């Protein structure tokens, strides 16, 4: 199988080549580079693609020629548009190292009968670990205590002083129950929490609901009963949590977002924090990155803010190509039911 891999500053050439070591059936015919090498500027490219789709940016010029003989295309952030796919006369499979497929024209691929395998698990463990880390940092004032000590201050009072509870016995609400949320739920079992899940696409008999001790509820119930609400959904429309939804949360609750900034109306969140409608928030994603110096969230002492670090581990990028090569091998063997990372319909493979 003739393979073209598109590298970028996150999934680099080394990771693609190392991953191929155990998959001799793939012949690497080219590896163009997409995007920029400046991390801050590249964040803007990512945001442009995530909001504008596969036509928001141009793929590398070299890819237009390579795609004509490519049988398997593997990308990370590189856009794969309908126009590019129209030139892919031999393409049998698209692999993407991301959980989302905003950079790929799924409809065009489906029309052409080209399956797409995404990899939502590539950074899932990293983000799940980070989510739990943010939860503790906010509830237990870890970041605030550290910052105070670095200033030479032995701080005794915090916004939640007198209301600091152990995690044991608390109710955790997970909005969305995809790969990351499932890992959060699994890891939270050791903390003896009650876990509520709201996900309109989740079947009532999902085996992992029972395995991880979760209860599926409607969003309103989750918001009303949760001591911590953590967002793990995907949405390209209006925010899932606006002023009305935030008002339904407990005044003693904390909100965590390691998913997408647009899932929460941050202006409404600031208003809720100002009014004391929430006890605090921990956020890793923002509508503008880097966050402007005058961002209203920066004035609150009851928030923990980090600069989009959730999935940023070596593992999340380095391991992904081999994970996808393995899934591709299974697919080409015809065992569709064993493929884990489907994003478009299985029948397009037949």
Task: Write out the catalytic residue numbers.
Answer: 260, 289, 308
* Cα three-residue angle 153-159-165, rounded to 5 degrees: 105
DSSP 149-165: HHTT------TTTT---
Q: How far lies 319's CA from each of 1, 32, 124, 179, in Å?
A: 21, 20, 12, 16
User: How many other C-beta atoms can be found within 10 angstroms of the C-beta atom of residue 24?
Assistant: 7
Tell me the Ramachandran region of residue 192: left when phi exceeds 0, alpha when psi lies from -120 to 50, beta otherwise: left
Check: CB of residue 243 under 8 Å from CB of residue 268.
yes
H/E element holding 13?
Answer: helix 13-19
Neighbours of 148 (CB within 10 A): 15
Q: How far, in whole angstroms, is CA 286 from its chain's centroid?
A: 13
The helix (run of H) or strand (run of E) holding residue 230 is strand 228-231
Q: Which two tokens stand for residue 240?
A: 């899932």
């Amino acid at each position: 199988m003739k393979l073209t891999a598109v590298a970028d500053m996150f999934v680099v050439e080394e990771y693609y080549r190392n991953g191929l070591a155990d998959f001799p059936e793939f012949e690497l015919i080219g590896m163009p580079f997409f995007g920029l090498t400046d991390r801050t500027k590249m964040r803007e490219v990512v945001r442009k693609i995530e909001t504008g789709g596969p036509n928001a940016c141009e793929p590398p010029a070299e890819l237009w020629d390579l795609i004509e003989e490519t049988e398997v295309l593997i990308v990370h952030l590189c856009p794969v548009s309908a126009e590019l796919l129209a030139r892919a006369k031999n393409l049998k499979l698209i692999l993407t190292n991301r959980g989302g497929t905003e950079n790929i024209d799924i409809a065009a691929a489906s029309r052409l009968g080209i399956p797409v395998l995404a990899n939502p698990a590539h950074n899932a463990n990293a983000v799940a670990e980070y989510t739990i880390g943010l939860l503790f940092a906010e509830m237990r004032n870890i970041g605030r205590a550290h910052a105070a000590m670095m200033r030479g201050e032995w701080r005794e009072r915090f916004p939640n002083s007198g209301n600091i509870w152990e995690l044991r016995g608390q109710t955790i609400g997970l909005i969305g129950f995809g790969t990351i949320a499932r890992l959060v739920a699994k890891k939270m079992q050791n903390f003896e929490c009650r876990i509520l899940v709201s996900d309109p696409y989740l079947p009532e008999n999902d085996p992992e609901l029972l395995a991880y001790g979760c209860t599926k509820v409607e969003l309103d119930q989750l918001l009303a009963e949760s001591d911590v609400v953590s967002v793990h959904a995907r949405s390209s429309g209006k925010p899932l949590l606006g002023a009305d939804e935030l008002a339904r949360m407990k005044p003693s609750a904390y909100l965590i977002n390691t998913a997408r900034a647009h899932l929460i109306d941050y202006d409404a969140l600031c208003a809720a924090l100002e009014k004391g409608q929430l006890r605090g928030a921990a956020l890793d994603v923002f509508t503008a990155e880097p966050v402007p110096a005058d961002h209203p969230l920066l004035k609150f002492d009851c928030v923990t803010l980090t600069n989009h670090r959730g999935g940023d581990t070596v593992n999340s990028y380095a391991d992904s190509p081999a994970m996808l090569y393995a899934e591709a091998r299974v697919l080409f063997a015809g065992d569709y039911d064993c493929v884990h990372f489907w994003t478009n319909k299985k029948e397009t493979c037949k």
